[in-house]
Amino acid sequence: MVHLGPKKPPSRKGSMMDVPRDLLEQIAHLEKIFTVDTAKLKAIVKHFVSELEKGLSKEGGSIPMIPAWVMNMPTGKETGTYLALDMGGTNLRVCEVTLGGNRDFDITQSKYHMPAGMKSGTADQLWDYVAECLESFLKAHHPDKDTCQMHLGFTFSYPCSQDAINRGVLQRWTKGFDIDGVEGHDVQPMLEAALRRRNVPITVTALINDTTGTMVASNYTDPEAIIGSIFGTGCNGAYFDYVKNIPKLEGLTDLDPESPMAINCEYGAFDNEHVILPRTRYDVHIDETSPRPNQQAFEKMISGLYLGEIHRLVMMDLFEQGYIFEKQNIDALREPFSLDTSFLSQIEEDPFENLTEVEDMFQSKFAIKTTEPERKLIRRLAELIGTRAARISACGIAALCKKTGRTRAHAGADGSVFNKYPNFRERGAQALKEIFDWTCEPKDYPIRIQPAEDGSGVGAALIAALTLQRIEQGLPVGLREEFRRKQE
Ligand code: BGC
């Protein structure tokens, strides 16, 4: 059959007609365990708000709620040229950003692939590679220029405790990283030492989380954007609070209690105690076999690193029980993480009623022949996993709005899942509607999660600019000296 119309999902109604009863029962079971209904969403948000508060308290909680030492939003008039280095979960990026002074910017950038082995290599390998990329960028773009005066915003998107804007002690690796000798250490001196070994005399002006960068960059072009969020390899959010609402800073800074303070929530760690999120046994398996069990509970149900793996685990389980892929060699599918989240996106996007694209994908990637009923189950499972991720994601944004008493807000969002996963935005918006009981049309929803400006490039440059302004004005950019960690 030749499909000529626009890509649209097949009508769900007729689509299960030929599925045999035993598979229909399995689908019904999966629907049960992967569906998060309105009441559950509301319960998650309620618990989330109290956990955000707990993270700000002196005792602390499992959500780190890290003061990020960004104390004002940009005015839009910032100017200057800055370097930005972005070490996310998959690639490394070096940018040169020129802020134009009129909410505008120019950006030149190079991307470098992070070699697969690096995630579990040594600290020296990591920092040398990062320094090498920065050096090669400078050689390509500034062969003659003395670059030591350039200011660097370093986006290091892992939970770091910050006693000042340019420093950060890695609490723990996330996103599958497992490099010895970095956790518990300040990453700034490690990067600077690696740069010095290559005679690149650049120092870090600001150490930034991607969510804080996303919030600031989004606010630069849209003043209503007051939250930054990432739904990518990892998941997290940032917002502005006031110093007076952060008990754990009491007595440690010279800041006015009324001063705003950006908080890098690190809420991928929400529900590490496993009291509220509806985990399935597949989620438990992912957690237990990950390099950091009992960490990042929220992230492990949402982010791009895990969605494909959840799908794979369910299929493996159904195969072992004899429901699918009868008498087939499924060795290729046995490989952990062999099915990535982009594969799931493609499954959801197959425009054909008989799911022939899914058929081709399984043949070419796993050498598995699928029947049409199996493909229908596979597709329904992808929808369930993608929908659950989007709905649970919305709980973080809703909790931040509830905590700060906002009924209207824009959240700038970035990351591969947000940008590429089909229907992720619509499903997230629908969840917000249910959480807040809105009755209006989607276009009028008062809280919107929308595509962000480039947080780790433009955001990092803006934060470097804001930091320099504060330093020039003699304003604090960290804890009082006596409360700072001694330089390593
Ligand atoms: C990290 C955060 C980061 C998020 C998105 C999480 O795993 O802990 O620092 O913001 O991923 O990149």
Give the model's confidence band at 226: pLDDT under 50 very low, under 70 low, under 90 confident, else very high.
very high
Express each pLDDT in 413-434 by its tens digit. Answer: 999 999 999 999 999 999 999 9
CA distances from 485 to 164, 479, 480 (A): 10, 10, 11
Instruction: Please state, in angstroms and rounded to a whole number, the distance separating the CA atoms of residues 66 and 56.
Output: 8
Express each pLDDT in 247-260 by its tens digit. Answer: 999 999 999 999 99
CA distances from 286 to 162, 183, 444 (A): 30, 22, 38
With contact defined as beta carbons under 8 Å apart, do 458 and 105 qualify? yes
* Per-residue buried b or exposed e for 285-319, using 16+ beta carbons within 10 Å of the residue's own CB: bbbeebebeebbbbbbbbbbbbbbbbbbbbbbebb
Give the model's confidence band at 13: pLDDT under 50 very low, under 70 low, under 90 confident, else very high.
very low
With contact defined as beta carbons under 8 Å apart, do 226 and 219 qualify? yes
pLDDT at position 147: 67
Higher-pLDDT residue of 178, 3: 178
Instruction: Please state, in angstroms and rounded to a whole number, the distance separating the CA atoms of residues 55 and 171.
Output: 14
CB atoms within 10 A of CB 232: 25
Taking CA atoms only, the protein residue closest to ligand 1 atom 3 is 157
Residue 410 dihedral angles phi and psi, to the nearest 5°: -110, 135
Higher-pLDDT residue of 201, 231: 231
Express each pLDDT in 85-140 by its tens digit. Answer: 999 777 899 999 999 999 999 999 999 998 888 999 999 999 999 999 999 999 99
Residues 6+ apart with CB under 8 A from 324: 23, 315, 318, 374, 377
Express each pLDDT in 47-99 by its tens digit. Answer: 999 999 999 999 999 999 999 999 999 999 999 999 999 997 778 999 999 99
CA distances from 54 to 58, 236, 368, 430 (A): 8, 17, 49, 28
265 C-alpha to ligand 1 centroid (Å): 10
Residue 154 tokens read as: 């370093």
From 65, 114, 175, mutation site for ligand 1 pocket: most ligand atoms within 8 A of C-beta = 175
269 C-alpha to ligand 1 centroid (Å): 10
What's the mean pLDDT in 212-238? 96
346 C-alpha to ligand 1 centroid (Å): 25
236 C-alpha to ligand 1 centroid (Å): 5
Residues with CB under 6 Å of ligand 1 are: 88-89, 157-159, 174-175, 209-211, 230, 232, 234-236, 266, 268, 299
Instruction: Please state, in angstroms and rounded to a whole number, the distance separating the CA atoms of residues 304 and 484.
Output: 35
* Catalytic pick among 62, 86, 93, 157: 157
User: Is residue 4 pLDDT above 50, yes or no?
Assistant: no
Instruction: Please state, in angstroms and rounded to a whole number, the distance separating the CA atoms of residues 126 and 128.
Output: 6
Q: Can you tell me which atom of ligand 1 is nearest the CA of 160?
A: 9
Q: Can you tell me which atom of ligand 1 is nearest the CA of 230?
A: 5
User: Is residue 1 pLDDT above 60, yes or no?
Assistant: no
Q: Can you tell me which atom of ligand 1 is nearest the CA of 299?
A: 7
Residue 172: active-site member: yes
What's the mean pLDDT in 366-379? 98
Instruction: Please state, in angstroms and rounded to a whole number, the distance separating the CA atoms of residues 145 and 155.
Output: 24
CA angle 275, 264, 123 (to 5 degrees): 95
User: Is residue 410 pLDDT above 80, yes or no?
Assistant: yes
pLDDT at position 488: 64
* Catalytic pick among 86, 163, 186, 210: 210
Give the model's confidence band at 314: pLDDT under 50 very low, under 70 low, under 90 confident, else very high.
very high
Give the model's confidence band at 17: pLDDT under 50 very low, under 70 low, under 90 confident, else very high.
confident
Residue 210: active-site member: yes
pLDDT at position 91: 87
210 C-alpha to ligand 1 centroid (Å): 7
Domain range 76-208+454-487, CATH class: alpha beta
Helix, strand, coil percentages for the chain (3-state, nearest 5): 45, 15, 40
Question: Domain 22-68+222-453 belongs to what topology?
Answer: Hexokinase; domain 1 (3.40.367)
Taking CA atoms only, the protein residue closest to ligand 1 atom 7 is 234
Give the model's confidence band at 486: pLDDT under 50 very low, under 70 low, under 90 confident, else very high.
confident
Express each pLDDT in 332-358 by its tens digit. Answer: 999 999 999 999 999 999 999 999 999
From 156, 170, 208, 210, mutation site for ligand 1 pocket: most ligand atoms within 8 A of C-beta = 210
* Catalytic pick among 167, 172, 379, 448: 172
Beta strands 235-242 and 260-264, pairing class? antiparallel
- What's the whole-model pTM score? 0.95
Taking CA atoms only, the protein residue closest to ligand 1 atom 8 is 158
Express each pLDDT in 260-304 by its tens digit. Answer: 999 999 999 999 999 999 999 999 999 999 999 999 999 999 999
Residues 6+ apart with CB under 8 A from 364: none
Domain ranges of the chain: 22-68+222-453, 76-208+454-487
